[in-house]
Structure 1
Amino acid sequence: MTRKSALILTLAVALGGCSKKDEQTSAQDEEWPKHGLSEAQANEVLVTIGDRTITVGEFADRLASQSPYLQSRFESPERRREFLDNLVRFELLVYEAKRRGYAEKPEIQRARRTAMTQQLIKKEVDAKVKLAEITDEEIQTVYDANPHEFDRPAQVRASDILVKDRAEAEKVLAEARKSDINQFRKLAREKSENEANSRDGGDLQFFAADAEGHPPKAVRDAAFTLKRVGEVFPNLIKTPEGYHIVMLTGKRAALKRTYEQAKRAIRHKLAREKKEAAMEALLDRLRKDIEVEIDYDALADVRVDIPGPAKER
């Protein structure tokens, strides 16, 4: 391992741990032995950098908090010494950054607040929702109540050019039949009179043969006769809106997932929903305990200056 890559690895480990004395767990609150260390051994000072000390226990905690893969990198005494040396280099940079006042910079304070909220969420939300605690009964209920999510008919995706004048539509059809997908979309942006989707190259998204509403039934029927992505329906399609030229741009086979096939996805979905509910419950509790005042009138004074090209998009 090069010195640079070792330092990068150490930075990742160090940033995952504590960096201030007031964030370290008191030795009196620990159960001993821990990491094979007695309490006295854990409290030994391993490194002193200015007013910053790293104890043997903190060093062991940092190693133990990493994934098994990272821990295996430091099994030998030589590698642990290398880790320690790079940790010292990291702490030197921290010391100098603090000395120069970086700790008080707004972006650093924002990052610190973000890290604190992440820890709070981890404890008050994530830790309270366990995948293993979601029951088969809950999963079965979701599966039975939402058949449309697990039993989907075949779908196609198409792009559509709408032209109201037949003679003009014939010309566009002739050009479209010589086009690939990108050229067809460009043609739709230039020629289509459907303001709803001409900017998107006439994209109709995915739809089923029996979908209600948009696109019109005649367009759906024509799209489902096409076999090859990039194929254009050979004739104009007449609807009350005008004449449609349609290209097939995508296909999805019918999907029917059994309970066992859907079980894992439902479990994760339920976990997300439970976490969202736990988060809202936490916020509701905080709103009751902490006074919040918002001046929405002042919000009107805020302006966002969007650069020209981005604004045009």
Structure 2
Amino acid sequence: MFSKPAVIILLPLVALSGVAAGGCSKQAEGPTAVEEEWPQNGLTEAQANEVLATVGDRTITVGEFADRLASQSPYLRARFESPERRKEFLDNLVRFELLVYEARRRGYEDKPEIKRARRNAMIQQMVKQEIDVPLQESEVTEEEVKAIYDADPAQYNRPAQVRASHILITDRARAQRLLAQAKKADLAGFRRMAREQSQDEKTKRSGGDLQFFAADEEGAPAKAIRDAAFKLAKVGEVYPELIEGGEGYHIIMLTGKRAPLTRTYEQAKRAIRHKLTRERKAAAVAALTERLRKDIDVEIDYEALKALEISTEDTPKSP
């Protein structure tokens, strides 16, 4: 049997209200050197260290309480202006610490998945402070964004596209029989027919999917297939005739449509800016890991990796 944790809740909300109004009366005498080092949420060091609640051996201080409040959105912070709402917020923190206490008592803190989550959180915080913050200070310029847009305008001006699936059959009589069946099939049925009947080894596993393409797009699929697909009006419609090609006869179903896309620079610049920021972040992380590889001994046994046999089938998780 474990001992019940002591839960002592102190509510010096008057002191917190005083902080909002400018602090305790000592501030009237002028800020001390220590106070000048404590601009967080308008609290002095002494105020920040004042204990609001104790849960077992864990204390919740005024400083932590204020930090938690400050981390909320402006809308939520406004909700906690009244003493009643602040009491509710503190009670929630206490409930959280009670659950932490119990999770630790039951050994969850030492579970591998918990340790991985903590390591991931630690890495995320490091990346945020060491990479994200410096990147924000050197923002992507308007000139850089415009240069990206001007370098590849076709990317932001796309013609109409359609998506189609096909069934390839080398024998005409057999293709005609399958065409009659395909006209009665829905999309799922057509894809099933393609997987079972098509003689195009490249696409049959994907249900005959030819992906999206434009009417004048060079390359696969062939022009006759593109022309047939663009004549179809509704998704799920099958072209009424066989399309003859060099490898046999194609049965075509329309599976998707995209309207033309035209984005001006003003419409595209936000997405370009985000893309450049992501690329800079990825480059910064790559540079950091490359430097760490030079500074830290890393040994990898690729031969052992090759010899490793791991089943990809579902296995029961260890307790």
TM-score computed with the length of structure 1 as normaliser: 0.83
* 8 Å contact kept, 1:131–1:268: no
1:208 pairs with one of 203, 214, 217 = 214
In structure 2, the partner of 1:19 is none
Within-5 A mapping of 1:263-302: 263-302=269-308
Question: 2-side partners of 1:37 and 1:261: how far apart?
Answer: 44
Letter in 1 for 2:201: E
SS at match of 2:173: helix
1:106 CA drift (Å): 1.9
Match of 1:103 in 2: 109
CA distance in 1, matches of 2:195, 2:229: 20
Q: Is the partner of 2:67 in helix, strand or coil?
A: helix
Residue 14 of structure 1 corresponds to none
**Matches of 2:76 and 2:307, distance apart in 1:** 50
Gaps of 5+ in 2: 1-33, 315-319
Rounded Cα–Cα distance in structure 2 between residues aligned with 1:110 and 1:302: 23
Question: How many percent of aligned residue pairs carry the same amino acid?
Answer: 67
Q: Aligned equivalents of 2:186 and 2:127: distance in 1? A: 49
Q: Give deviations 1:25-47, integer Å, cap 9, x for gaps.
A: xxx79833542333221121222
The answer as to whether partners of 2:35 and 2:45 remain within 8 angstroms in 1 is no
Q: Deviations over 1:46-65 (max 9, x none)?
A: 22233222211111111112
Structure 1 residue 44 corresponds to structure 2 residue 86: no
Distance 2:35 2:302 in 1: 46
Q: CA deviation at 1:130?
A: 2.5
Give the drift of 1:132. Answer: 8.2
Quick one: structure 1 residues 173 and 207, their matched pair in 2 at CA, closer, same or farther if it must change by over 3 Å?
same
Is 1:94 the counterpart of 2:103? The answer is: no
Report the equivalent of 1:185: 191
- For the 8 Å contact 2:35–2:44, the answer to whether it is kept is no
Shift of residue 211 of structure 1? 2.2
Q: 1:179 to 1:95 in 2, by over 3 A?
A: closer
Structure 2 length-normalised TM: 0.82
8 Å CA contact 1:131–1:267 kept in 2: the answer is no
Structure 1 residues without counterparts, runs of 5 or longer: 1-27, 309-313
Which residue of structure 2 lines up, in the alignment, with residue 18 of structure 1?
Answer: none
Tell me the residue number matched to 2:236.
230
Q: How many residues align?
A: 282
Tell whether 2:74 aligns with 1:68: yes
Cα deviations by residue, 1:204-261 (Å, 9 ceiling, x for unpaired)? 1101122222112221122122222222222111111000111111111222211111
Q: Which has the larger radius of gyration?
A: 2
